[in-house]
Chain A
Amino acid sequence: MESYKLTVHEIWNLVNKREISIKELVRDVIERIDSTERQIGSFITFNWDEALYQAETLDTLISEESDSSKLAGIPLGVEDNICTLDIRTTSASRMLENFTPPYDASVVEKLKQCHSIILGKLNMDEFGMGSSTQNSAFKVTKNPWNLHKVAGGAAGGGAAAVAADQVFCAIGSDSSGCLRQPAAFCGVVGFKPTYGLVSRFGLVTSAPSLEQVGCITKDVTDCAYVLEEIAFYDSKDSTSIKDDSCGYLGYLVDGIRGLKIGIPREIFDESWDPDIRACIDRSIEILKNLGAEIIDITLPHFKYATASQFIIMCCESSSNLARYDGIKYGKRARDVNDLEELYCKTRSQGFGQEVKERIMLGNLFLSRQYYDSHYKKALKIRELLRNDFRKAYEKCHLILTPTSPILAYDLSNETNLSVTTNYSKRYTLLANLTGIPAISIPCGFSEEGLPVGIQFMADTFKEGTLLKVAYTFERNTDYHMKRAMKLEVTE
């Protein structure tokens, strides 16, 4: 049985009816990874022995539990910047190549309580810095729809693994669209919750005010299943919040009549790939036909958002990555004469070029000469943008944009200018700057068969509204059912 092709909710039904065992399921999925991984490169570390051992006991356990979690027995992947007890966690950096955490991130602890099965750690851009997963210190992840194209990033490993049916879902983090942009490039669902809704304890973060743990799934129902489990208050994370509006499965209803969806003039006036424009125009017509009201809105400070996000991210990264000094953990350079040399040699050997550049820029923006003109200004722009969104949500329930203005591009075609790599994430990073939730779902294909994603953004804690519109759109289209057919399995 090709059970790996199914979704989380389909698997859950089969397991409950005893039509498939967890052991069978895990074996199926491992075989799938084994036959496709050489082409895709989604994983940094495998956890197969533990997964198979867990599967042995889970069948009995789940049959005995009357209220088992919807994620019980589900094989999934965790991005390699989320700490996992006794499983190497590298953040795709040489700096952490030998780092095996002695604890689980809170979100991983929760997944384990649900009896989910962690199959391994997923590839990403080093410390989340990049948009293509070509900045990993270990390997490049390829797009399952076209192996000559990037998978997107930073969480390209997760998106590619879900798209290639290697895992049923992936847990990762999003600081500028790192889950949504690769999800769009790979034709799957990417979700970033409201800042604080999911614990970040145990996340190796480089930009804490922007980053949020979320998920990549095959469809919107699976996304609600995952969110239902990973959204909880965590006293170990000072930014964690209690939200009483959970019960996300209740929002999986087909019906958006009367819902007001805002179209930001500044974004729709921009130039996009023509295939993306066609898909978005068609999606708007679908939403109108389903009863949504489409209205024009404005985000006057949108044009400054990419620069603001980039400056804040560099500043926070330079500070956060200062902890990698060769003393406490991670890489430690050998043959040094003094402490200064130990610091410099360790960091110079451990960090990749993109990371070094962003640390240097962060230190520049935080220096006396640039602090007011760059860092402080970027923070003020973030406030202005928050006000723009606040005003927009007085007129509409949701805001719609393409997830990215461009399609998945050729491997190695990354421009060598870091700020422009964020061009592909100029619409997704808005949710990170403002802390709001956002989802990307498939909305069509380009002429050459590459997936296109549509993004919905809602006000803080309105995850339910997002799920409702995404679910309704999905129920009335079939883009999410298409699979990466070009992937040829190798023996």
Chain B
Amino acid sequence: MKLSLKDIENMGLWSKLKLDHQEKEVFLDRINKTLQKLEIIKELATDHLELSLDKPIHSKALRDDQVQPSMSRDQALKNAQETWDGMFSVPSILD
């Protein structure tokens, strides 16, 4: 199924990307070609297979939840864009 310009707009919204008209046109062409290439996986029937993927390649026990020495506050803030009273200062995230 080919995507439309409206689909590309939606994908931009989901991705928090602002696309101008020219970009949308470019992505529409490229993404439709990519999707066409990926059609190959449709040849393979996999519905009968159970996905046991959450099993990692090697199982590893979790480490103990113990406090370990870590970075000092000064070091953590060293390269912060803005700081305030020993803390990171960031733009408001609640409108």
A binds B: yes
- Considering only residues 49-86 of chain B, those with a C-beta below 8 Å from chain A are 49, 51-53, 56-58, 60, 62-63, 71, 75-81
**Known contacts A304-B44, A380-B46, A419-B38; is-contact A328 B90 (Cβ 8 Å):** yes
Which residue, of B8, B11, B77, B92, has the highest number of chain A Cβ atoms within 10 A?
Answer: B11
Contact A343 B34 (CB under 8 A): no
Contact B90 A360 (CB under 8 A): no
**A325 at interface, CB cutoff 8 A:** yes
Distance (whole angstroms) from the CB of B88 to the closest CB of chain A: 8
Counting chain B residues whose Cβ lies within 8 A of the other chain, the interface size class is: 35 or more
List 20 interface pairs A-B (beta carbons < 8 Å), by A numbering.
Answer: A102-B75, A241-B58, A308-B41, A311-B41, A326-B91, A332-B81, A339-B94, A339-B95, A357-B34, A360-B8, A360-B15, A361-B11, A363-B14, A374-B41, A377-B46, A379-B53, A380-B49, A381-B41, A383-B51, A384-B49
Flag if B44 contacts A348 (CB, 8 Å).
no
Find out whether the CB atom of B44 lies under 8 angstroms from the CB atom of A301: yes
Interface SS of B by simple majority: loop
Verify if A359 is at the interface (C-beta below 8 Å from B): yes
B53 and A347: CB pair below 8 A? Answer: no
CB of A139 to closest CB in B, whole Å: 23
> Measured between C-beta atoms, what is the minimum distance from A211 to chain B in Å?
13
CA–CA, A339 and B53, complex, Å: 36
Give CA–CA (A304, B78) in the complex, Å.
47
| In-complex Cβ contact of B78 among A99, A102, A326 (8 A) | A102
Q: How far is A332 from B89 in the complex, measured between Cα atoms in Å?
A: 13
Q: Are A102 and B71 in contact (CB under 8 A)?
A: yes
Contact status of A196 and B58, CB under 8 A, knowing A102-B79, A379-B53: yes
- In A349-395, which residues have CB < 8 Å from any B CB? 351, 353, 356-357, 359-361, 363-364, 367, 373-374, 376-384
Shortest Cβ-Cβ A-B pairs, 4 listed: A360-B11, A435-B57, A344-B18, A380-B46
Q: Are B40 and A303 in contact (CB under 8 A)?
A: yes
- Asked if residues B31 and A360 are in contact (CB atoms below 8 Å), the reply is yes
Asked if A298 CB lies within 8 Å of chain B CBs, one says no
Known: A378-B41, A382-B53. Is A327-B93 also a contact (CB below 8 A)?
yes
Interface 0/1 of A12-26, CB less than 8 Å to B: 000000000000000
Of the residues B31, B41, B44, B52, contact of A357 by C-beta under 8 Å: B31
Least CB separation from B79: chain A residue: A100
Taking a contact as CB atoms under 8 Å apart, the answer to whether A460 and B58 are in contact is yes
In the complex, chain B residues whose CB is within 8 Å of the CB of A327? 90-91, 93
Q: Which residues of A contact B14 (CB under 8 A)?
A: 360, 363, 367
CA separation between A419 and B8, bound complex, in Å? 18
Cα(A127)–Cα(B30), bound, Å: 20
Partner of B52, one of A310, A342, A383: A383
* Cβ contacts under 8 Å, B75 to chain A: 102-103
CB <8 Å contact, A363 and B11:
yes
B5 beta carbon closer than 8 Å to chain A: no
Query: In the complex, A149 Cα to B57 Cα: how many Å?
Result: 37
Specify which chain B residues have a CB less than 8 angstroms from the CB of A342 in the assembled complex.
91
B57 A195 Cβ-Cβ under 8 A: yes
**B62 neighbours in A (Cβ, 8 Å):** 238
CB atoms of A348 and B17 under 8 A apart: yes
B19 within 8 A of A: yes
CB of A417 closer than 8 Å to a CB of B:
yes
B15: chain A residues within 8 A (beta carbon): 318, 347, 356, 359-360, 363
Check B58 against A339 for contact (C-beta < 8 Å). Answer: no
Whether B51 lies near A307 (C-beta < 8 A) is: no
Shortest CB–CB separation between residue A378 and chain B, in angstroms? 7
Q: B21 within 8 Å of A by Cβ? A: no
Q: From residue B5, how far is it (CB to closest CB) to chain A in Å?
A: 13
**Which residues on the B side are within 8 Å of A418 (C-beta)?**
30, 34
B38→A310 contact, CB < 8 A? yes
Cβ B76 vs Cβ A102 within 8 A: yes
Give the docked Cα–Cα distance between A101 and B8 (Å): 35
* B46 neighbours in A (Cβ, 8 Å): 377, 380-381, 384
In the complex formed, the residue of B with least CB distance to A98 is B81
Are A338 and B53 closer than 8 Å at their CB atoms?
no
Cα distance, A325 to B53, chains bound together (Å): 30
Closest to B64 in A: A235
Q: Which residues of A contact B63 (CB under 8 A)?
A: 235
- CB neighbours of B78 from chain A (8 A): 102
Closest to A435 in B: B57
Docked Cα-Cα span, A451 to B60, in Å, equals 40
